[in-house]
Amino acid sequence: MAFIKGAARRPPIMKRSVLGEGEVMLRRWPSVLCCLWLSVLVCVAPALAEQEVLEPRLLEQRLAEKAGKEFVVGTFSFVKEIAGPNRVALLVERALSEYGYKMRLEYMPGKRLMAQLNTGAIDADLIRAIDLSRGFENIVRVEEPINRVCGLIYRLAERSQLALNDAESPSKLGVYAGAPGVASTLLRKFLLVELVSFKSLEQGIKMLLHERIDFLVIPDVQAPALISGTEKPLSLASVFKFGDSYMHVHKRHDELAVRLAASIKLLKRRLPISSCTLETSPNFQAGW
């Protein structure tokens, strides 16, 4: 009986060992947590302090400078054919430079440009008369109008009898390919025309001269190039406004878009661009 009572009072050796290790771990755990928190603070505190001190604009510029990244902005291919400075591109370039970015302009057809921006292959679309953010989930509009695009519709002077809305003889209207905003605006304004696309101003001029189209639609900025590049006299059939145009960026730049809107608003006061004031003179010069 003495042996049995003694055995009952003595805890099993294995249980005592397991409980002892658990108690040791529980006692050490607060120290482990404390060390981890100290490590995190040492690594993160300087970065947090820098963000608190720097204003958002300076922080954006600092991050851009550290990355050394170009900001690729796409625009329509025909822009290369415009003589003189591209004032819209200059305005965007200055706005981006305020945040440490260096702009690189790339030229491409309109549809390809939209696809490239939506996939993130480029950073921005320079100017659009339609809101791309409504049709593409990865595109954000910079909410400050950057320009007002104006359209000019020309015909050969020898064919001045042609009318845009002729129910008996619908006209063929040449328009740049890959510009859905322009096409939809024209179809709303001129219900009886047939749209025919061209890829370059040179191609459009040839189509007009060979009467494959009756009218040629161009943005106001191309008027000088059209007049100087056409062998035959032209007459201006109509002028119209597309309304305000905007810059668009990929959604990874959504915070930058807010700051760009403020910068563009200020820069427009110092760098005047087209306000869609149209003239019919052969020497018409547009602001771009």
pLDDT at 27 over 70: no
Q: What is the 3-state secondary structure (H, E, C) of 21-44?
A: HHHHHHHHHHHHHHHHHHHHHHHH
- Is position 186 within any domain? yes
Residue 119 and residue 77 share a domain = yes
pLDDT at 85 over 50: yes
Query: Per residue in 91-130, is it b (16+ CB within 10 Å) or e — as a string?
Result: bbbbbbebbbbebebeebbbeebbebbbeeebbbbbbbbb
Place of tokens 């006061």: 269
Residue 72 and residue 99 share a domain = yes
Q: Which two tokens stand for residue 77?
A: 């291919």
Residue 164 and residue 94 share a domain = no
pLDDT at 181 over 70: yes
Range of the domain at 111: 56-148+244-270
For residues 206 and 83, the answer to whether their CB atoms sit within 8 Å is no
Beta bridge partners of 236: 154
pLDDT in tens, 93-126: 999 999 999 999 999 988 899 999 999 999 999 9
Residue 251 and residue 108 share a domain = yes
Q: Residue 188: how many CA atoms within 13 Å on its side-chain side? A: 9
Q: How many domains does the chain have?
A: 2
Between CA 203 and CA 205 the distance in angstroms is 5
pLDDT in tens, 197-224: 998 889 999 999 999 999 999 888 788 8
- Is position 51 within any domain? no
- Is position 18 within any domain? no
Residue 232 and residue 163 share a domain = yes
Residue 123 and residue 238 share a domain = no
**What's the whole-number average pLDDT of the chain?**
78
Is 261 or 163 the better-scoring residue by pLDDT? 261
- Is position 10 within any domain? no
Beta bridge partners of 84: none
Residue 97 and residue 163 share a domain = no
Residue 237 and residue 159 share a domain = yes
Measure the CA dihedral 197/200/205/211, to 10°.
Answer: -20
DSSP one-letter code for 11: P
CATH number at residue 195: 3.40.190.10
